[in-house]
């Protein structure tokens, strides 16, 4: 008997290239203009319904030089009208070279399978490199809003400039997603999400809006949580404004989980089921390629993207394969964290990454990942204190990575980080304890979109970290995101801060700018 995973896979491959939905009537635009009459032709097409078929919005992601993923997910209420929740339905997409849709360059249809919550992931090929495109979905006689996306330049193309943003940590209850509204207006080439896209629990006071229910565990729970988050118009606008590249951290499943080990004393077999549910919901709601489709509790999320000669990006997964946090995951210091066999990345991902660093030839070679890589000793009164959930809990593997970068001369190594709900800019070294050791790379860590409420410019933690760790050049504890502007000569990070997120409509400001010159790993204040 087939596993349900094989069934999903077969479903995608059997129907992903179907064009019959579009064959009648010439163009989907025509069908929409006729009020959706085309939707009665295919027996698997969504029927016309008064319900908005696209309540979660639209998205695109993982751009290549000739392809991009288009994403949406149909409303359960809309599917209900077309035969019930177990029915697979097809929907169509259109891609145009301009926002007016005067010239449609690609159309297609794809099945949104019931087993994947009627999510649709269309990998559209045959596109031109380094081009802006506009797209929309069509289902149930309704066209979605129009999204903007961009293909990557050819791998060997000379690129003058590339500009993207990165973000993380968006606890829905802690604040409004105003930062995303500002991000959507920046006309970016790419948006990178570094994890904590949802939170599995509710905490804190002064909540501005609410999750339903207690800690989430089942597939239905995780789907409902993403549905709540994705109902936010500012988040939807950011998704529609540019292609996204996503990875996860812990809260997409469970706080500070490590591979198969949950935070609390939950039975391990129960956690495998929970992880499978969480990974499936993540896949359902993200514009990922089919190669990332989960198989039970396993999902291949780490991957590489390239944007001409200017930027090569290794997207890491520091959750799924890691050893448990050392020292009981308590902040402090202990011998266990220094053990040489400990891994954060797992053998396969580490070998893949070390090989990529050794053969890197782009101007800027980025690690898009979750947790702080620079050593952060936030102790006081002669006591050392490290976070065991960050790279500080895995210093042997960190040193192996940074020594590989140094030894092989990886050009322009830049690490992007989320997780701490703070902004940081740090120089990376093979020996953080030595003030005289030269920096070999740069880490730009971005604050949260909303987690932690408004925050404040300086915190006691940030002040301790700055004074204890000379390689850390900047700290700020407000909310927002970071933009990165890359040229062949320099990297510029702008820390975009929204001081008030507990009220709607907060303004954005650039709190700090840092520049790295090509061929140098030192950070300059811009």
Closer by beta carbon to Fe ion, 178 or else 255: 255
β-pairing, 509-517 vs 490-498, is: antiparallel
Any contact of residue 196 with Fe ion (CB under 5 A)? Answer: yes
Closer by beta carbon to Ca ion, 196 or else 397: 196
Closer by beta carbon to Fe ion, 72 or else 451: 451
Distance of closest approach, residue 323 Cβ to Ca ion, in angstroms: 17
Closer by beta carbon to Ca ion, 68 or else 373: 373
Any contact of residue 249 with Ca ion (CB under 5 A)? Answer: yes
Give the x/- contact pattern for Ca ion in 38-77, rule: CB under 5 A.
----------------------------------------
Angle between helices 219-230 and 268-285 (to 10 degrees): 30
Closer by beta carbon to Fe ion, 169 or else 286: 169
Any contact of residue 419 with Ca ion (CB under 5 A)? Answer: yes
Closer by beta carbon to Ca ion, 162 or else 248: 248
Residue 160 main-chain phi, psi, to 5 deg: -75, -35
Distance of closest approach, residue 283 Cβ to Fe ion, in angstroms: 20
Distance of alpha carbon 77 from alpha carbon 51, whole angstroms: 7
Q: What is the DSSP string of 223-282?
A: HHHHHHHHT-HHHHHHHHHS-EEE---STTTSTT-BTTB-SSS--HHHHHHHHHHHHHHH
Angle between helices 219-230 and 233-241 (to 10 degrees): 80
Q: Which stretch binds Ca ion (CB under 5 A): 149-157, 170-178, 361-369, 416-424?
A: 416-424
Q: Where are the alpha helices (DSSP H) in 286-394?
A: 347-358
Give the x/- contact pattern for Fe ion in 120-159, rule: CB under 5 A.
----------------------------------------
Residue 326 main-chain phi, psi, to 5 deg: -75, 170
Q: H helices then E strands: how many in the chain?
A: 11, 22
**Of 320, 338, 345, residue with least CA distance to 375:** 338
Q: Which stretch binds Ca ion (CB under 5 A): 405-413, 414-422, 461-469, 517-525?
A: 414-422
β-pairing, 119-124 vs 472-486, is: unpaired
Range 415-454, binding Fe ion (CB under 5 A): 451
Closer by beta carbon to Ca ion, 57 or else 262: 262
**Distance between terminal CA atoms of the chain?**
61
Any contact of residue 253 with Fe ion (CB under 5 A)? Answer: no
Closer by beta carbon to Ca ion, 124 or else 198: 198
Any contact of residue 200 with Ca ion (CB under 5 A)? Answer: no
Any contact of residue 169 with Fe ion (CB under 5 A)? Answer: yes
Question: Quick count: other Cβ atoms within 10 Å of Cβ 13?
Answer: 10
Choose from Ca ion, Fe ion, none: what does 94 bind? Cβ within 5-8 Å by kind: none
Distance of alpha carbon 405 from alpha carbon 465, whole angstroms: 25
Distance of closest approach, residue 251 Cβ to Fe ion, in angstroms: 6
β-pairing, 89-96 vs 132-139, is: antiparallel
- Which of 94, 221, 234, 250 lies at the binding interface for Ca ion (CB under 5 A)? 250
Any contact of residue 221 with Ca ion (CB under 5 A)? Answer: no
Contact criterion met (CB below 8 Å) for 132 and 68:
no
Give the x/- contact pattern for Fe ion in 481-520, rule: CB under 5 A.
----------------------------------------
Closer by beta carbon to Fe ion, 144 or else 451: 451
Give the helix, strand, coil percentages of the chain, each rounded to 5. Answer: 25, 25, 50
Distance of closest approach, residue 366 Cβ to Fe ion, in angstroms: 21
Number of residues counted as binding Ca ion (CB under 5 A): 4
Interacting residues toward Ca ion by CB under 5 A? 196, 249-250, 419
Interacting residues toward Fe ion by CB under 5 A? 169, 196, 451
């Amino acid at each position: 008997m087939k596993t349900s995973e094989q069934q999903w896979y077969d479903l995608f491959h059997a129907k992903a290239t179907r064009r019959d939905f579009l064959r009648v009537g010439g163009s989907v635009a025509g069908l929409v203009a006729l009020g959706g009459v085309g939707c009665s032709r295919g027996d698997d097409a969504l029927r016309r319904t008064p319900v908005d078929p696209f309540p979660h919005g639209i998205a695109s992601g993982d751009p290549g030089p000739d392809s991009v993923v288009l994403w949406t997910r149909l409303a359960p209420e809309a599917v209900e009208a077309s035969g019930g929740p177990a029915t697979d339905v097809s929907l169509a997409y259109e891609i145009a070279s301009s926002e007016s849709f005067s010239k449609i360059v690609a159309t297609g249809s794809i099945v949104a399978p019931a087993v994947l919550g009627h999510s649709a992931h269309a990998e559209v090929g045959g596109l031109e490199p380094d081009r802006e495109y506009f797209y929309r979905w069509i289902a149930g006689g309704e066209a979605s809003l129009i999204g903007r996306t961009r293909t990557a330049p050819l791998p060997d193309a000379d690129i003058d400039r590339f500009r993207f943003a990165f973000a993380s940590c968006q606890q829905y209850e802690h604040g409004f997603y105003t930062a995303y509204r500002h991000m959507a207006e920046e006309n970016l080439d790419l948006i990178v999400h570094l994890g904590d896209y949802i939170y599995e629990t509710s905490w804190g006071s002064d909540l501005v809006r609410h999750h339903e229910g207690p800690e989430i565990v089942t597939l239905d729970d995780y789907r409902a949580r993403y549905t709540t988050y994705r109902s936010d118009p500012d988040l939807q606008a950011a998704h529609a404004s540019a292609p996204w590249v996503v990875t996860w951290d812990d809260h997409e499943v469970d706080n500070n989980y490590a591979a198969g080990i949950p935070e609390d004393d939950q039975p391990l077999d129960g956690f495998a089921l929970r992880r499978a549910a969480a990974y499936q919901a993540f896949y359902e709601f993200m514009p990922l390629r089919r190669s990332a489709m989960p198989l039970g509790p396993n999902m291949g999320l780490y991957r590489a993207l390239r944007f001409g000669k200017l930027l090569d990006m290794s997207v890491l997964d520091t959750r799924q394969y890691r050893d448990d946090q050392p020292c009981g995951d308590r902040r402090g210091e202990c011998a266990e964290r220094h053990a040489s066999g400990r891994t954060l990345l797992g053998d396969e991902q580490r070998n893949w990454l070390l090989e990529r660093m050794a053969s890197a030839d782009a101007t800027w070679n980025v690690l898009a990942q979750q947790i702080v890589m620079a050593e952060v000793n936030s102790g006081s009164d002669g006591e050392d204190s490290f976070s065991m959930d960050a790279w500080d809990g895995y210093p042997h593997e960190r040193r192996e990575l940074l020594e590989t970068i140094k030894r092989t001369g990886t050009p322009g190594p830049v690490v992007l980080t989320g997780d701490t709900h703070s902004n940081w800019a740090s120089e990376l070294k093979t020996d953080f304890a030595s003030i005289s050791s030269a920096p070999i790379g740069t880490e730009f860590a971005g604050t949260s979109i909303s987690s932690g409420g408004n925050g404040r410019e300086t915190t006691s933690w940030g002040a301790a970290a700055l004074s204890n760790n000379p390689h850390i050049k900047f700290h700020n504890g407000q909310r927002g995101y970071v933009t990165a502007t890359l040229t062949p000569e320099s990297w510029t990070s702008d820390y975009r801060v929204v001081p008030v997120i507990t009220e709607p409509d907060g303004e954005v400001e650039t709190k700090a700018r840092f520049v790295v010159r090509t061929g140098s790993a030192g950070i300059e204040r811009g």
